[in-house]
Structure 1
Amino acid sequence: MKCNTVMEWLPHYIEGLVTPEAEREMTQHIVACPDCARWLEEARAMEEIWKEADSASDFQPLSGIPDLVPQVMAEIERLEAVRQSDGAGPAASRRRSARRTSWVHYGLAACLTFVLLQYGVFEQLGYGLTEINGHMSNSVTALFGTQGTR
């Protein structure tokens, strides 16, 4: 058995969930391999730490830190009551529709394109594409020869 296999199956080995023959092979490997034996010790120590943490029912939150939740919730309720007493009604959330949002995006894209055209950003683009096309066709011609062109 290889070390990678032992390390992969080690949690199952510790919990006793492997078949008896796999357990025997792993035990033989762990006895012969100091790295895997060390790995097993560390895994068992980690398991003990987790068991202790799970069994600790006397967990206390950090002392000295005030619990602000009741005060904040009370303030939210107070503000909501004041707002409703003013006749404002429930808070309405403003939702955007997908159609409106898409039109806004199209409008912004059109405005940006117009500005870029005005500043001449696309002026050299056509020339550059033509130049790249020429280089590519020359490369293809050099690669395959002129036999395909008639």
Structure 2
Amino acid sequence: MKCTAVTEWLPHYIEGLLSPEAERELTRHIEGCSGCARWLEEARAMEQIWKEMDGDDELRLSFGGPDLVPPVMAEIERLEDARRSNNTQDSPSRRRFALRTSWIHYGLAACLTFVLLEFGVFEQLGYGLTEINGHMSSSVTKLFGAQRTH
């Protein structure tokens, strides 16, 4: 077993979720590899820290700093409320500006499409779509079998 596989399966190993064969193989590798043994020790230490933090709010605050979730969520809610109240006061100039910007976006999209066509970006697109369609139809045919008509 390679070290990359061990590090990938290590969380499952620690939690005891592996099959007995896989657990034996990981144990055998860890006993023979000092790097993976160190990795296991660090992972177990981190797991212990997380378990302690789950039950202790004081430790969580001292370990990770202040809990910023409530003030940030309150600020997001305040900004959303302000945005909603601003949208209800839709003025004629605001509607004209929105219409003008939508036309600008359409114009930019048309110009960009023209430039991409000029540079031949879409040249192979039709061939690629046809090829993908062929692959998909053959996959569906293999999956469901050929349709029979009576």
Structure-1-length-normalised TM-score: 0.46
Higher helix share: 2
Structure-2-length-normalised TM-score: 0.46
Structure ID, larger Rg: 1
Structure of greater relative contact order (alpha carbons < 8 Å, 6+ residues apart): 1
